[in-house]
Amino acid sequence: GSGAPWQGLEDMRGILRGMIQSRDDTSLLLVCDRPDEALEQFAGWNTTKIRATSATLQEVPHYLNAGDVAMLLRAAGPASEVASPIKFAEYAMCGLPVVHNGSVAQVREFSERLGGANVLLRDQGDMDSLTPLDDTERARRASMARPLLSNENTGQILGALEVVDEVVLVAAGQPVEALPRELRERVELVCRENRGWDFASYRDGLAVARQHAPGRITLCNDSVYGPLFPLQEAFSTMADKAVDAWGMTASNELWWHLQSYFLSFSPAVIDAGAFWDFWEAVPDDAVRREVIRNGEIGLSRVLLDAGFVLDAYCPTPKGGADMTGPDKVRRGLAAIRGRWNDANLYRDVADVVFHGARLGVNPSLAHWSTLVREQRLPFVKRAAVAQSGGLDMLLRSMDGQSPGICDEVLDAIKEDLQRGA
End-to-end CA distance of the chain: 27
CA 351/CA 355 separation, integer angstroms: 5
Strands of the sheet with 217-220, listed across from one edge: 217-220, 262-265, 245-247, 310-312
User: Across residues 215-227, what is the average pLDDT?
Assistant: 89
DSSP assignment of 248-308: S-EE-SBS-EE-TTEEEE-HHHHT-HHHHHHHHT--SS--HHHIIIIIIIHHHHHHHHTT-
H-helix or E-strand containing 120? strand 119-120
Is the pTM higher than 0.75? The answer reads: no
- pLDDT score for 309: 97
Which stretch of 216-230, 238-252, 340-354 has the lowest confidence by average pLDDT? 340-354
Residue 2, amino acid: S
Residue 228 pLDDT exceeds 50: yes
- pLDDT score for 420: 38
pLDDT in tens, 355-383: 455 556 688 888 899 999 999 999 999 88
The angle at the Cα of 274, spanning 232 to 223, to the nearest 5 degrees, equals: 45
- Residue 261: pLDDT band with limits 50, 70, 90: very high
pLDDT in tens, 81-119: 767 677 888 888 888 888 888 888 878 877 877 765 567
pLDDT in tens, 2-54: 656 666 677 777 777 777 777 777 888 888 878 888 788 777 777 778 888 88
Residue 202 vs residue 284, higher pLDDT: 202
